[in-house]
Amino acid sequence: MRPRRVDAGYAIVDVVMGLVLFGLVIVAIYQIFIPALAFSLHINGRLAAQQDVRLAVDRVARQLHETTLDFGRLRVYSTDAGCVGAYEGCIGFVTAHSACSGPFTLLNGAPDWQATIYIWRDTATDELRTRCNPATAFPATQWPPILAPYAVIGRQVVAASFTLLPEGSPQPTAIEMALEEQIATGPRKGLQSTFFNQTVFVPENR
């Protein structure tokens, strides 16, 4: 006679222990994965901020190097009523590029100033913007109210300033540009990536 077969199965204790162990594994993976993801997003955001600021600096570097500090050809509007508030880091300077993007023009061996370039930070959008005005080669004595059309050369710029060096000198020899950019970089609130760039430009045509 064959013995009666007893069907094998899992006891409720085995099921509970299995679920507990599975839960512990999931929690461990979560504790490792989330910080790694946040760190990765932070690094990516920081690299993006650095790249954006560098591109903004590169876009104006050549223009600032080629401009002049001659009287009336360059103005910093840091305390002008039209710049303070809605805008920040306002500057206007001349360029010898026709329509701001054409060839550099000379007249009798000297730059033939063709237009005025304005750069500013819009505080409402944190954009660094630029505008070319080919109608005049002298920046406005006060910050111009008409700023369109414009091009965006930097995003998430939380601070911008232009300073003539040496500060307070009646005969400045250089222009200092400082940009600070900040980008949210993760699922956790308040996690920001900040990059600061401070560059001094010496105009070649003085």
pLDDT in tens, 57-111: 787 888 899 999 998 999 999 888 889 888 999 999 999 998 788 899 999 889 9
Q: Is residue 23 part of a domain?
A: no
Query: Domains in the chain: how many in total?
Result: 1
pLDDT in tens, 150-193: 999 888 888 999 999 998 888 899 999 998 887 765 555 555 66
Q: Is residue 10 part of a domain?
A: no
Q: Is residue 30 part of a domain?
A: no
Over 60: is that where the pLDDT of 1 sits? no
| The pair of three-digit structure tokens given for residue 165, joined into one six-digit string | 């060096």
Q: Is residue 79 part of a domain?
A: yes
Q: Domain residues for 68?
A: 40-201
The reported pTM is 0.75
| The pair of three-digit structure tokens given for residue 32, joined into one six-digit string | 């490792």
Q: Is residue 35 part of a domain?
A: no
Q: Is residue 20 part of a domain?
A: no
Q: Is residue 21 part of a domain?
A: no
Q: Is residue 156 part of a domain?
A: yes
Buried b (16+ CB within 10 A) or exposed e, 32-46: eeeeeeeeebbeebb
DSSP β-bridge partners for residue 130: 119, 151
pLDDT in tens, 14-64: 777 878 888 888 887 777 777 766 666 666 666 666 676 677 778 788 889
